[in-house]
Amino acid sequence: MSSVTRCAFAIFALCLLVLAPPVRAADTPAPVIQRFHDALIVMMKKGPQLGFQGRVKYIGPIADQTFDYKDMTQRAVGPSWSSLNPKDQARLVAAFRKFSIYTYAHQFRSYDGEQFKLVGEPQTGKLGGVLVRTELLPNGDDPVQLNYVLHQSPNWKIYDIYLAGAISEVARRRDDFSSILREKGVEGMVTALEEKSAQLEAEDKTMRAQN
């Protein structure tokens, strides 16, 4: 997918959600996002004491309650997903889940007064997703938009994130996944994700040693 196509896809999907009516209060997925953000704050505050693997163990179960990793992996893989056998699908989901959790453990490793803020009301889309808009408020810096798209399966779970308001995380991953799967197959994709996870842990250890 080209950068132009990816951008158009992200804007189109976001518009379908934003222009739709608000979700009824009883059906809102906002508490799922609030619970996850609260957990990230706790993890950041305890980050140095927990260490990298401690943060992984802390955020992992909460992430499993928050993200639909199978759906995210399927969307990132694209049409070729249906041609994969169940074992290979499960391997990809497991590797993607690990990489996602390692990413959170790496990026949210310490606390410097950051806060999260829910923005407006959740918006339901014509395609079934519900958009929850939020902001990450760094201490003394500009807000960062983090917008989540969720569905019920059967509980509310995230299946995409729009960084800076319009950059689809799943669409961005699709570029990486499609090229690696095409060239190296499932084994190559799993290996690539495992290597990315290991790199995040190594970088974290290096930064901790320097502090």
| DSSP sequence for 125-141 | -TTS-EEEEEEEE-TTS
Short-list 81, 110, 100, CA closest to 181: 81
Per-residue DSSP letters for the chain?
--HHHHHHHHHHHHHHHHTSPBPPGGG--HHHHHHHHHHHHHHHHHHHHHHHHHHHHHHHHHHHHHB-HHHHHHHHH-GGGGGS-HHHHHHHHHHHHHHHHHHHHHHT-S-SS-EEEEEEEEEE-TTS-EEEEEEEE-TTS--EEEEEEEEESSSEEEEEEEETTTEEHHHHHHHHHHHHHHHHHHHHHHHHHHHHHHHHHHHHHHHHHH-
User: pTM to 2 decimals?
Assistant: 0.85
| Residue 119 main-chain phi, psi, to 5 deg | -115, 115
Give pLDDT tens digits for 29-45: 999 999 999 999 999 99
- So what's the pLDDT on residue 15? 44
Q: Is 110 left (phi over 0), alpha (psi -120 to 50) or beta?
A: beta
Asked if 106 and 73 count as a contact pair (C-beta separation under 8 A), the reply is no
Query: Tokens 């495992």 correspond to what residue?
Result: 194
Half-sphere exposure of 196 (CA within 13 A, CB side): 19
Domains of the chain listed by start with CATH number: 3-210 (3.10.450.710)
Give pLDDT tens digits for 137-190: 999 899 999 999 999 988 999 999 998 877 899 999 998 898 899 999 999 999
Give pLDDT tens digits for 36-92: 999 999 999 999 999 999 999 999 999 999 999 999 999 999 999 999 999 999 999
